[in-house]
């Protein structure tokens, strides 16, 4: 996560870059969030804070980048993946890119990604997605709530739309885009501190017996 944050920061400083496109490999999941194996390997509060701060670093890098971040969501997004889709300035997706905030189902909660998700889709939709943690919501639902700008029936169409938008932005005034981005993200200066505080909450919860038991059940396929 920290490497990804560094790459986004580097792209933001690259004078030859006009827009940042965030995408993942393959044709299936866009991002499945935190690994269960990594979660159960956390043994101290400090380790938990450091782990979840990785998600905070990426979201803040996307927020602070002086260039628009376009997310290409070609498949399902879970937990932190939903946070990435929402932290992007403009997100396009495949019609099969359903979403789920599964954190509560394993005893944690979408604390770090929460501000980005709530900012994008509103408090009502965020609450619904957080509480109904075991159910998928369709890409059309995500589009209706504002997480996705548009959805496409094929990856070819998705890529064509992204390349077309990126080409147009490449010819736009970089200073105007930079100023507009600051407008989009106004009133989020406190996120540098807020997301770390949220990481501490998740770091504490992941150490609980409840969470460790819930993760073990998920890994065993009994939930």
Q: How confident is the model at residue 143 (pLDDT cuts 50, 70, 90)?
A: very high
Close Cβ partners of 95 (under 8 Å, ≥ 6 residues apart): 139, 140, 151, 152, 153
Largest pairwise CA distance in the chain: 54
Q: What per-residue confidence (pLDDT) applies to 223?
A: 52
Question: How far apart (Å, rounded) are the C-alpha atoms in residues 4 and 19?
Answer: 16
The token duo for 111 is: 């604390």
CATH code, domain with 100: 3.90.226.10
Half-sphere exposure (Cβ direction) of 85: Cα atoms closer than 13 Å = 36
pTM of the model as a whole = 0.94
Residue 110 pLDDT exceeds 60: yes
Task: List, for residues 169-218, the tens digit of each pLDDT value.
Answer: 999 999 999 999 999 999 999 999 999 999 999 999 999 999 988 888 87
Quote the number of domains for the chain.
1
Report CA-CA distances (Å) from 136 to 15, 25, 76, 141. Answer: 40, 22, 9, 10
- Domain of residue 139 covers 2-220
With residue 71 as reference, give the H or E element that holds it: strand 69-73
Residue 4 burial by CB count (10 A; 0-12/13-18/19+): exposed, middle or buried? middle
123: helix, coil or strand? helix
């Amino acid at each position: 996560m920290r490497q990804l944050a560094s790459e986004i920061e580097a792209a933001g400083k690259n004078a030859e870059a006009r827009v940042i496109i965030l995408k993942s490999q393959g044709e299936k999941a866009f991002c499945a969030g935190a690994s269960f194996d990594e979660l159960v390997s956390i043994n101290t509060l400090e380790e938990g804070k450091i782990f979840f701060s990785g998600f905070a670093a990426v979201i803040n890098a996307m927020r602070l980048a002086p260039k628009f971040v376009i997310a290409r969501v070609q498949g399902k997004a879970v937990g932190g993946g939903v946070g990435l889709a929402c932290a992007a300035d403009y997100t396009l997706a495949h019609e099969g890119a359903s979403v789920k905030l599964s954190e509560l189902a394993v005893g944690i909660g979408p604390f770090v990604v929460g501000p980005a998700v709530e900012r994008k889709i509103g408090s009502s939709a965020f609450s619904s997605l957080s509480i109904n943690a075991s159910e998928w919501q369709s890409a059309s639902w995500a589009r209706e709530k504002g997480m996705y700008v548009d959805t496409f029936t094929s990856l070819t169409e998705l890529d064509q739309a992204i390349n077309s938008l990126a080409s147009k932005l490449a010819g736009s005034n970089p200073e105007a885009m930079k100023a507009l981005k600051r407008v989009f993200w106004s009133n989020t200066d406190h996120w540098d501190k807020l997301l770390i505080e949220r990481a501490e909450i998740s770091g504490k919860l992941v150490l609980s017996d409840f969470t460790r038991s819930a993760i073990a059940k998920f890994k065993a396929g009994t939930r």
